[in-house]
Amino acid sequence: MNSTNSGWKASGPGAEVAALLREGSPRVRALALRLAGKLDLALLRSELAAAQADPDEEVRVAAQWALERVTPNGGRGGAIIQRHGGYQGLKAHQAAEIAYDATAAFCNRFIERRSRTHDQMVQAARSGKQNIVEASAAAGISSKTELKLTGVARASLEELLADFRDFLRQRGLPQWGKEDPRAAEVRKLAYVENRSYRTYKSYFEEGSPEAAANTALCLVYQATYLLDRLLKQLERAFIEKGGISERMFQARQEHRRQEQGL
């Protein structure tokens, strides 16, 4: 596995661990990945991400473990600035990214590229993904903005669902029901390890219009389900912890208590 340049210096633990990640032994690579997680070597994030595609299962598991523990993009936050970034680890983002790639492939194959419908569907899919990224970045400062952008992502994907249903309806093609074995087969792929667009590639690049559109519907439904769960988590967190105004007040009160020796 080749190491990419992530900005770490040529000396220090980052360089030493990066060197171990290039070792031929899977066992050594796995140990190095766990060390990167324990030491919070966030500068090696790209190496950790690349290791998720390692041919050895132990290495892939260690890479995921390490990524969950290093500082998220944007930082962990503190008493006032909440933990933010790290959207790559969100299941909702992963599902939305697959739906975006699938939609782009679907539209390039079945929708006139110069048509407004093509642009609208691709943009709706991109909005579903990109607003999760922006919400994650905004989380440190504004819970309200985080909730709003996550809601925009959800609404964009709902619009995309309507577009795929219209595609099937206007061409007289059936929409697969929940009990349809073909739909069940697609849903099972959600449990494939390291799931990505490649998991569904054959449906969109080789399948019929009916199969491609119905597979896309399954993917977007999965993404909206995960976004609904994420919205509930964000709402609960806001109710329990409040927004930045409350955190600023609480941090100031704590500072005063410490100054007074209370």
Does residue 173 share a domain with residue 44?
no
Q: Is residue 129 part of a domain?
A: yes
φ and ψ at residue 3, rounded to 5 degrees: -90, 140
Does residue 60 share a domain with residue 127?
no
pLDDT band at 116 (very low <50, low <70, confident <90, very high): very high
Q: Is residue 45 part of a domain?
A: yes
Q: Is residue 79 part of a domain?
A: no
Does residue 104 share a domain with residue 23?
no
The CB density around residue 140, as the number of other CB atoms within 10 Å, is 21
Q: Is residue 76 part of a domain?
A: no
Q: What angle do CA 64, 67, 73 make, to 5 degrees?
A: 150
pLDDT band at 210 (very low <50, low <70, confident <90, very high): very high
Q: Is residue 81 part of a domain?
A: no
Does residue 91 share a domain with residue 49?
no
Q: Is residue 132 part of a domain?
A: yes
Q: Is residue 237 part of a domain?
A: yes
Which residue shows structure tokens 């199969």?
Answer: 211
Per-residue pLDDT, 240: 65
Does residue 137 share a domain with residue 183?
yes
Does residue 169 share a domain with residue 102?
yes
- Euclidean distance between CA atoms 132 and 151, whole angstroms: 9
Q: Is 175 helix (H, G, I), strand (E, B) or coil?
A: coil
- pTM assigned to the model: 0.63
Q: Is residue 2 part of a domain?
A: no
The mean pLDDT value for 193-214 works out to 96
pLDDT band at 61 (very low <50, low <70, confident <90, very high): very high
Lowest mean pLDDT: which of 110-124, 127-141, 179-193?
A: 127-141
For every residue of 31-57, DSSP letters joined together read: HHHHHHHHTT-GGGHHHHHHGGG-SSH
Lowest mean pLDDT: which of 34-48, 164-178, 183-197?
A: 34-48
Does residue 241 share a domain with residue 130?
yes
Does residue 122 share a domain with residue 202?
yes
Does residue 52 share a domain with residue 115?
no
Sign of the alpha-carbon torsion through 66, 68, 72, 77 = negative
Does residue 62 share a domain with residue 94?
no
Does residue 173 share a domain with residue 121?
yes
Largest CA distance in the chain: 75
Which residue shows structure tokens 């599902």?
Answer: 95
Does residue 163 share a domain with residue 110?
yes
Do 36 and 44 form a contact (C-beta atoms < 8 A)? yes
Q: Note down the domain range covering 227.
A: 87-255
The number of distinct structural domains making up the chain is 2
